[in-house]
Structure 1
């Protein structure tokens, strides 16, 4: 049975640890907005014009729209050094009249749904950056209950083998702290969609990848992915 306190007991120095956090308290908030289908163009224009009001309060890692794996979605990542910082930022945003009047009051009616998760980078991964503009793939793995003690080693091995194939670049591996538990998000970068398709085809024929995935998949409950296109104002391109 999954037990959150046990996750915190892992030593982050372990080479196979896939625990919920690294040495410091830095975490990331994944926010997903489902926009009304006929409002996406206006949503992006409004956000592009006013996002500087939001980034004045805390760091935005990236901002994307979904191309495949879910339509009319805006996905963005925000970085925080502590929960106290996030709380202070949310309080400040609520009091920021310019942000509330110019953006929030106009943006909220455009949405059908909002979702968020709090995630940590796994201890063996640093946040990467792309070599140039491209597209991103967010792959979400719902693992079996038990946490990294059960599936951490095999999961890391599978990710490592995919990196070694060289067809894609790892941006980050994130473990959910608030949201669905035993969930891991992997964010990849590719030069374009065709490069990603060709790389995946080659990987599926690579015996190293096949062996690693076969080992890891026994701990997998479900998997989904989404192709993301960075917006003009996204730090990660």
Structure 2
């Protein structure tokens, strides 16, 4: 019986192709230091055999690449069906750092005037960061397209009440702003927490180059195993499209910060090989946040 071949492994070996093979052979004293990767491939791999077959001994029903062919191009034709969606809503993440002496005033002002902003586009959530970033707020805005966002920003700039009653007062309170654009991972949907209140965690993972075709299925399984009653509630999982590239953001909800500590597990342990760096922050929803 032909062994089952994992699509992520196929992608990994094909994408890294000759470089992996060259290292593998060099470690086993079967390559000269001056040889190029292409020369190694041509000399060592039997005609018609794939690099994946050469390294693992497993046959592939569909040959993804053979000697002399361009590795990454051929690999792209056989990616597993876990690529991010190129259609669907965009979610803009915005983070503001506030002057320490103006944090309370900024939150009061935003509470009073946020309706001027939500008249133009949909607010998903607005949080005050408690741990992992001092004097910060984090918010998510939903758009149907980049053109819709451009229209919204143009309308805001021409909205006299928004500019005079909010922007003119809020901007002097801020010391730093950041944004990037994300989309939901194909298997994720925005979910409302089971209860209002509680603590939210935004966990961010800088992933290995290759995107969801490389690590998507493993990531889905890891997060699903962590998402259970009495453990953690996955609100949504996002993948960056602009800014902070190759980054996955998981938005979790817990009954409290102490509950998070009690049930905390490493949801990413089984995909650790695909993760370069990690970061997180624990936040509490503002009173005017739709998600709370």
Task: Please indicate the TM-score interval, normalised by the length of the shorter structure.
Answer: 0.7 to 0.9
CA deviation string 1:117-164 (max 9, x = no partner): 100001101100011122100000001111112222221221111114
Aligned residues: 217
Q: 1:114 to 1:10 in 2, by over 3 A?
A: farther
For residue 216 of structure 1, the aligned residue among 271, 281, 289 is 271
**Separation in 1, partners of 2:130, 2:287:** 15
TM score, norm. by length of structure 2: 0.70
Tell me which residue corresponds to 1:159: 223
TM-score by length of 1: 0.86
Q: How does 1:15-34 map to 2 (within 5 A)?
A: 17=82, 19-21=83-85, 24-34=87-97
How far has the Cα of 1:10 moved from its partner? 9.9
Equivalent residue, structure 2, for 1:170: 234
Q: CA RMSD in A?
A: 2.1
Larger radius of gyration: 2
**Quick one: distance in 1 between partners of 2:85 and 2:174?**
31
Q: CA deviation at 1:36?
A: 0.8
Structure 1 Cα separation of the partners of residues 231 and 251 of structure 2: 14
Partner-residue secondary structure (3-state), 1:30: strand
1:25-64 CA distances to partner (integer Å, 9 max, x unpaired)? Answer: 2110000001111110000011111000000000000000
Q: Which has the higher contact order (CA 8 A, sep 6+)?
A: 1
Which 4+ residue blocks in structure 1 deviate beyond 4 angstroms? none
- Structure 2 unaligned regions, length at least 5: 1-14, 16-72
Query: Comparing both structures, which one devotes a greater share of its residues to strand?
Result: 1
